[in-house]
Amino acid sequence: MKRLMVTLLLTALAMAGCASSSDTLRLATTTSTYDSGLLDAILPVFEAKFGVNVEVVAVGTGQALSLGEAGDADVVLVHARAREDAFVAAGYAPARFDVMYNDFVIVGPEDDPVGIGDAADAVEAFRRIAAAQARFASRGDESGTNFKELSIWEAAGITPEGDWYDSIGQGMGSTLEFSQETGSYTLTDRGTFIAQQANLEGMAVLFGGDTIDANPDLRLLNPYGVMPVNGDNDDLAMDFVEWLTSVETQQAIADFRSPSGEPLFFPDSVEWRSGGG
Amino acid sequence: MCADMRGLVEAFTDALALLIAGDAALWEVVWLTLRVTGAALFIATLVGIPVGVTLGLSRRVPLRGLLIPLIYTGMGLPPVVVGLFVYLFLSREGPLGGLGWLFSPTGMIVAQTILALPLVVGLTMAAVESTDPALPLQLEALGATRRQVAATTLLEVRGGVSAAIVAAFGAIISEVGAVMLVGGNIAGETRVLTTAIVLETRKGNFALALALGVVLLLLAFAANFTFYRLEGRGRSA
């Protein structure tokens, strides 16, 4: 009797933990797509069309890719091109597809003590921050934003370290709060900054322009890619990728607005570029 | 069938390798964890034991009926809520912003002391209350001063008191909510074992996260083992 109970319990656990039913799709993505409200705005259409439920796991790019590698996610939507290409090269996904882009900006104390506002590009702005040893907060969490920041330091020929540079290993929201509290500069995606700006008194976009079109540095463009993970659920995963890159969904991404009425993401799939866009 | 066990086994092997290699960053994190938790525990013990003994011995402390439920509530304080309060107090816009303790080990010690104190007070008090109520009376009849009564009672309940200290240690060395909010998880400055585990898990570095978890468990075990031995030796003497 006892043995039967144990067997039943184990079976139940196995079914609960491992069931990979085709009526659920697990999407691993970055906090920026989720916190901005974009996914809540567009996913119900997919769920209704295919009669499935989409589970969203919103984490950093590093963990989103790990979830895919371990088979714990069916689709990965992230923004770190080199890591995405490595993911495909390692055989975890058949291919990577362009989805959309937004941009990064450098924010900090609104009086801009170092004067990065008139820098020619992001590299120059970072050089000025480092030269003045002005405080800088880094995500330090191997997120897409963190990779972008490190690539700018590398381009500037600077190894950021010392008392002025804090690597805090936290999400974008916490990093912005940290920056406000400590008067630090930081690199952020424009969408998260706009979404939180009401709570970030005294901070402003100091480099990157008022809108994405006014951003003087093309390096700060932030492309998102989607990858269907090779696994038990790859038919549905591929359906999702085709839906996300279709002209119809791309139009919905273009129409999406922040609460203050600003566009946060710009459609960029192959279908969009060759067709409707 | 779901993914096999290979990932888990791999993570464990990698974790062991990392521990044996023992790099400097890892030791820095371990050292800061011990410093912060040690300091908080020291302060909580220094304040908490006298308060606990006093409350346990005396039935005439004013507002005792309100104080004791408060202490018992404090024993289950959610670390993240304590972290939030300490954050708001130490923030630049908070009443203690001028101290500059936010995102510093000092701020983390404050938060962990608040978490540890009710545990030390509450468990010490419970241990004292569990002694024979006639003991203080007998001691007083023999001419002992109040201070001597307290000292003798404390000696009598040393097992309960070390349990209080161990419980407080276990609670604060393993909490992540308060140190994350108040410390800010700054590499090389305020990163402790628990916040490092959260970060490495988010990054997908499961082996390193697991290695840090093993270190945390070893520290907890070492502390408990030490206290257990101290207590055991005391009893057999």
Give residue-wise pLDDT tens across range A187-223.
999 988 988 888 899 999 999 998 888 999 999 999 9
Largest CA distance in chain A: 77
- Which superfamily does B26-231 belong to? MetI-like (1.10.3720.10)
Q: What is the pLDDT of residues B66-82, one digit of tens each?
A: 989 999 999 999 999 99
Q: What is the pLDDT of residues A64-112, one digit of tens each?
A: 998 899 888 999 999 999 999 999 999 999 999 999 999 999 999 999 9
The DSSP line for A82-145 is HHHHHHHHTTSSS--EEEEEEEEEEEEETT-TT--TT-SSHHHHHHHHHHHT--EEE--S--HH
Check CB contact under 8 Å for A169 and B103.
no
Closest residue in A to B183 (Cα–Cα)? A168
pLDDT at A10: 59
Domain that holds residue A150: 103-220
Check CB contact under 8 Å for B2 and A182.
no
Residue at which a domain ends, from A176, A205, A220: A220
For chain A, which residues lie within 8 Å of any Cβ of chain B, measuring from their own Cβ?
14, 17-20, 59-60, 62-63, 65-67, 69-72, 140-142, 166-170, 178, 181-182
Residue A187 lies in a domain: yes
pLDDT at A8: 62
Check CB contact under 8 Å for A141 and B199.
yes
Task: Mention every residue, 6+ apart, whose C-beta is less than 8 A from residue A32.
Answer: A79, A102, A145, A172, A189, A191, A192
Residue A92 lies in a domain: yes
Q: What is the pLDDT of residues A11-64, one digit of tens each?
A: 655 555 444 456 899 999 988 888 788 999 999 999 999 999 999 998 888 889
Domain count, chain A: 2
Check if the beta carbon of residue B164 is closer than 8 Å to that of residue B120: yes
Residue A10 lies in a domain: no
Alpha helices in chain B (DSSP H): 6-21, 24-57, 64-74, 79-90, 105-129, 134-141, 146-156, 158-173, 177-183, 193-203, 206-236
Q: What is the pLDDT of residues B1-25, one digit of tens each?
A: 344 566 677 777 777 777 777 777 7
pLDDT at B1: 35
Domain ranges of chain B: 26-231
Residue at which a domain ends, from A203, A220, A237: A220
Three-state DSSP at B8 gives helix
- Are residue A61 and residue A30 in the same domain, yes or no? yes
- CATH number for A184: 3.40.190.10
Chains A and B form CB pairs within 8 A to the count of: 66
Residue A242 lies in a domain: yes
- Are residue A132 and residue A195 in the same domain, yes or no? yes
pLDDT at A276: 57
Check CB contact under 8 Å for B202 and A178.
no
Identify the band that residue B57 occupies on the pLDDT scale cut at 50, 70 and 90. confident
Identify the band that residue B168 occupies on the pLDDT scale cut at 50, 70 and 90. very high
Neighbour tally for A3: CB within 10 Å: 7
Three-state DSSP at A76 gives strand
Check CB contact under 8 Å for B2 and A142.
no
